[in-house]
């Protein structure tokens, strides 16, 4: 039993008699989900399932639409990361229309996108995750939220959190019309240029964001890393730890780039196993379906789907801030790079070799990324080309296009095929969180197995199980863009190792 979960205020441990525990809904993430935990005859965990119950059907109903509308329609995949979908979709549209945007337009898109990252990572760290660290996993349920965090850290810090996410939203609004569901991306460019006045405002806000990100990294160090119980939670290989493959996007120097680059996959022991761009993603990424979740399960195609197991022989990979720091050699901006080195230094000092498999470290990686996004935002706001007036290049006849970038929650792919009238014929989406569906199942199962023993359950322990997926900052609306129907046609019954036990067919 993890010591941090004992004596954490009024968290009461009780003995349950039922062999089934349902957590519904899972909370402090984006999207719908539930966890079903099954106990064996000794009251220990036999299995745990992280199920996603939602889906809407984007890949299908976008067919027949005018393809240029897709960057507005697919933005509705997610209201927490609409910027990621909008910009990725716009990159796919560049491909569809065979056009390369002018430099100013690319920089404006990246400027917008860095503001988006700041909003997203602040929202996740402070509003969704922080309660577990600032107040503790076993803190009273009613206080375990952003309001409880503000009460604990004080209104001044709370005010700074709110102010800087507000800056990030304001910048996105200035560039994109709206922060949630922006409109600035067009095939071949950006919808408008910015004035010197606007640029100066963005620069001022960016400077403040850099300071705030530095503060956030310091806060993480003080509240989390210097607390030996939390540090144990992060580094203990028995609870929040899985050895998987890792996927991220890097530039030509293997430094992280959120907006553009090459996709790189490494093995659990750190060897590079794939490097690709564009449509070649089809050679490396596939999606598996299981009957008990509407979300598909991504895996690394050359290894294959081996079931819900980790390790080098399983195709399961992660695409998260943790993954990005693992696949890359660091950041192009100085402050983030220094934090990157401190991060790896800490783990190396603890004897950890190779990629960092410790799921809780994802929170740390995320705040370092927040710092990079702030520095990059500032750098771009000071770029002489950013106020350029040439923001659009003419398009060619429409065809096929692939856009890939790093969404805050993982590598995102938008792939469209349009006919020569510009009507969408085909859509494929591989979304950030879908990459992580299988590893989240692994993480939840492992945490539940480690924390729930001998029938003993408490609200804090169940929350600690939820922390296993929360580190991934899941976005289930994104992940389940798809829509299945009501009646199954075939049901496959699998053994625990994933091999097929029996197939049942049922006609409608």
Partner 1 sequence: MAEEAQAQSAPVEAEGWEPKLLVFCCNWCSYAGADLAGVSRLQMPTNFRVIRTMCSARVDPEFVLRAFAKGADGVLVLGCHPADCHYIGGNYRTRRRIALLRVLLEQYGFNPDRLKLEWVSASEGMKFQQTIKEFDRTIRELGPNPINEE
Partner 2 sequence: MAKIRIAQYWAAGCGGCDVALLDIDEKILGVAEIADIAFWPIAVDAKVKDVEAMPDGYITATLINGAIRNSENEHMAKLLRQKSALIVSFGSCACFGGVPGLANMTSKKEILEYVYWHTPTSDNVEKVLPTPHYKVPEGEIEIPVLYDTVYTLDQVIDVDYYMPGCPPTTNLINEFLGMVEKHVKEGAPLPPKGSVIASQKTLCDECARKRTTKKVEKIYMPYEIDIDPEKCMLEQGIICLGPSTRAGCGAKCLEGNQPCRGCMGPTAEVLDQGGSMLSALASIFAIGNQESQLSEDDILELMTQVKDPLGTFYAFTMPASIIKKKVKEKKATTAPKEA
With the C-alpha atoms ordered 498, 489, 76, 258, is the resulting torsion angle positive or negative? positive
The residue with tokens 């983030």 is 336
- Residue closer to partner 1, measured from CB, 374 or 424: 424
Q: What is the DSSP annotation of 343-384?
A: HHHHHHHTT--SS--BTTHHHHHHHHHHHHHHHHHHHHHT-G
Interaction between residue 452 and partner 2 (CB under 8 A): no
* DSSP class of 390: -
- Residue closer to partner 2, measured from CB, 256 or 465: 465
Residue 262 pairs with which residues in a beta bridge?
Answer: 250
- Beta strand 400-407 with 410-418 is antiparallel
Q: Which of 154, 237, 311, 488 binds partner 2 (CB under 8 A)?
A: 488
Q: Which of 1, 3, 24, 350 binds partner 2 (CB under 8 A)?
A: 24
Length of the chain: 508
- Residue closer to partner 1, measured from CB, 504 or 508: 508
Instruction: Tell me which residues in 379-418 interact with partner 2 (CB under 8 A).
Output: 392, 395, 415
Instruction: Tell me which residues in 60-89 interact with partner 1 (CB under 8 A).
Output: 64
Nearest residue to 318 via CA among 390, 392, 233, 409: 409
Q: Which of 152, 162, 231, 335 binds partner 2 (CB under 8 A)?
A: 162
The residue with tokens 């809780």 is 360
* Cα-based distances in Å from 327 to 190, 223, 277, 309, 366: 31, 27, 15, 21, 15
Q: Which of 16, 69, 207, 221 binds partner 2 (CB under 8 A)?
A: 69
* Residue 282 binding: pick among partner 1, partner 2, none (C-beta 5-8 Å cut-off by kind): partner 2
Nearest residue to 167 via CA among 108, 117, 104: 117
* DSSP class of 294: S
Residue 275: exposure state from Cβ atoms within 10 A (0-12, 13-18, ≥19): middle
Residues 185 and 177: their CA atoms lie apart, in Å, by: 11
Residues 188 and 200: their CA atoms lie apart, in Å, by: 26
Interaction between residue 453 and partner 2 (CB under 8 A): no
SS3 of 296, please? coil
Query: Nearest distance from residue 208's CB to partner 2, in Å?
Result: 15
* Residue 184 binding: pick among partner 2, partner 1, none (C-beta 5-8 Å cut-off by kind): partner 2
- Residue closer to partner 2, measured from CB, 81 or 323: 81
Instruction: Tell me which residues in 472-501 interact with partner 1 (CB under 8 A).
Output: 487
- Residue closer to partner 1, measured from CB, 309 or 483: 483
SS3 of 445, please? helix
- In this structure, what token pair is assigned to residue 452? 């729930």
Total interface residues for partner 2 by CB under 8 A: 120
Q: How many CA atoms lie within 13 A of 203 on its CB side?
A: 15
Q: H/E element holding 413?
A: strand 410-418
* Residue 303 binding: pick among partner 2, partner 1, none (C-beta 5-8 Å cut-off by kind): none
Angle, CA of 250, 254 and 255, to the nearest 5°: 70
Q: How many CA atoms lie within 13 A of 179 on its CB side?
A: 17
Query: Nearest distance from residue 38's CB to partner 2, in Å?
Result: 4
String of contacts with partner 2 for each residue 263-282, x by CB under 8 A: ------------------xx
String of contacts with partner 2 for each residue 164-203, x by CB under 8 A: -xx--x---x-xxxxxxxxxx-xxxx-xx-----------
Interaction between residue 508 and partner 1 (CB under 8 A): yes
Q: Which of 157, 273, 303, 483 binds partner 2 (CB under 8 A)?
A: 483
Interaction between residue 157 and partner 2 (CB under 8 A): no
Interaction between residue 430 and partner 2 (CB under 8 A): yes
* Residue 503 binding: pick among partner 1, partner 2, none (C-beta 5-8 Å cut-off by kind): partner 2
Q: What are the residues whose beta carbons fall under 8 Å from the beta carbon of 41, sequence distance 6 or more?
A: none
Per the CB < 8 A criterion, the answer to whether 474 and 29 are in contact is yes
Query: Nearest distance from residue 253's CB to partner 2, in Å?
Result: 29
Per the CB < 8 A criterion, the answer to whether 444 and 50 are in contact is yes
Instruction: Tell me which residues in 137-156 interact with partner 2 (CB under 8 A).
Output: 141-142, 144-147, 150, 155
Residues 353 and 361: their CA atoms lie apart, in Å, by: 15
Query: Nearest distance from residue 160's CB to partner 2, in Å?
Result: 11
Total interface residues for partner 1 by CB under 8 A: 3
Interaction between residue 127 and partner 2 (CB under 8 A): yes
Instruction: Tell me which residues in 363-392 interact with partner 1 (CB under 8 A).
Output: none
- In this structure, what token pair is assigned to residue 262? 């090459």
- Residue closer to partner 2, measured from CB, 341 or 397: 397
Residues 372 and 368: their CA atoms lie apart, in Å, by: 6
Q: Which of 60, 228, 312, 396 binds partner 2 (CB under 8 A)?
A: 60
Interaction between residue 504 and partner 1 (CB under 8 A): no
- Residue closer to partner 1, measured from CB, 70 or 360: 70
* Residue 30 binding: pick among partner 1, partner 2, none (C-beta 5-8 Å cut-off by kind): partner 2
Please report, as ranges, the residues that interact with partner 1 according to CB under 8 A.
64, 487, 508
């Amino acid at each position: 039993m993890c010591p941090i979960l004992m004596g954490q205020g009024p968290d009461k441990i009780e003995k349950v008699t039922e062999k089934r525990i349902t957590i519904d809904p899972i909370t402090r993430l984006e999207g719908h989900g539930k966890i079903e935990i099954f106990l064996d005859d000794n009251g220990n965990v036999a299995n745990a399932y992280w199920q996603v119950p939602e889906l809407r059907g984007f890949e299908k109903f976008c067919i027949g639409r005018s393809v240029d509308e897709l960057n507005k329609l697919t933005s509705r995949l997610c209201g927490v990361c609409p910027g990621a979908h909008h910009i990725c979709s716009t990159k796919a549209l560049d491909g569809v229309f065979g056009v390369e945007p002018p430099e100013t337009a690319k920089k404006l898109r990246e400027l917008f996108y860095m503001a988006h990252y700041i909003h997203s990572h602040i929202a996740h760290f402070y509003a969704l995750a922080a309660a577990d660290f600032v107040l503790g996993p076993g803190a009273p349920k009613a206080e375990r939220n952003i309001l409880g965090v503000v009460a604990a850290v004080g209104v001044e810090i709370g005010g700074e959190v709110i102010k800087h996410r507000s800056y990030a939203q304001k910048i996105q609004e200035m560039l994109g019309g709206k922060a949630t569901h922006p409109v600035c991306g067009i095939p071949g460019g950006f919808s408008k240029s910015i004035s010197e006045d606007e640029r100066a405002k963005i620069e001022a806000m960016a400077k403040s964001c850099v300071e705030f990100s530095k503060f956030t990294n310091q806060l993480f160090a003080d509240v989390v890393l210097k607390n030996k119980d939390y540090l144990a939670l992060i580094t203990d290989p028995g609870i929040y730890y899985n050895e998987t493959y890792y996927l991220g996007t890097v530039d030509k120097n293997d430094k992280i780039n959120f907006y553009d680059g090459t996709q790189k996959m490494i093995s659990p022991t750190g060897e590079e196993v794939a490097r690709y761009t564009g449509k070649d993603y089809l050679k490396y990424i596939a999606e598996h379906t299981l009957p008990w979740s509407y979300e598909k399960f991504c895996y690394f195609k050359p290894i294959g789907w081996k079931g819900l197991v980790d390790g080098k022989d399983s195709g399961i990979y992660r695409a998260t801030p943790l993954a990005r720091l693992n696949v890359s050699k660091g950041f192009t901006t100085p402050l983030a790079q220094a934090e990157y080195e401190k991060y790896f230094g800490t783990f190396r000092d603890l004897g950890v070799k190779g990629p960092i498999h410790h799921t809780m470290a994802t929170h740390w990686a995320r705040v370092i990324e927040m710092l990079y996004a702030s520095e990059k935002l500032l750098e771009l706001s000071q770029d002489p080309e950013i106020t350029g007036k040439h923001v659009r290049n003419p398009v060619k006849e429409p065809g096929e296009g692939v856009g890939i970038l790093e969404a805050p929650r993982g590598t995102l792919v938008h792939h469209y095929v349009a006919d020569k009238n510009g009507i969408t014929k085909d859509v494929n989406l591989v979304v950030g969180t879908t990459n992580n569906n299988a590893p989240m199942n692994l993480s939840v199962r492992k945490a539940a197995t480690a924390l729930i023993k001998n029938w003993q359950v408490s609200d804090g322990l169940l929350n600690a199980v939820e922390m296993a997926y929360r580190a991934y900052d899941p976005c289930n609306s994104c992940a389940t863009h798809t829509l299945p129907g009501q009646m199954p046609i075939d049901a496959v019954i699998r053994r625990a190792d994933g091999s097929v036990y029996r197939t049942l067919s049922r006609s409608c």
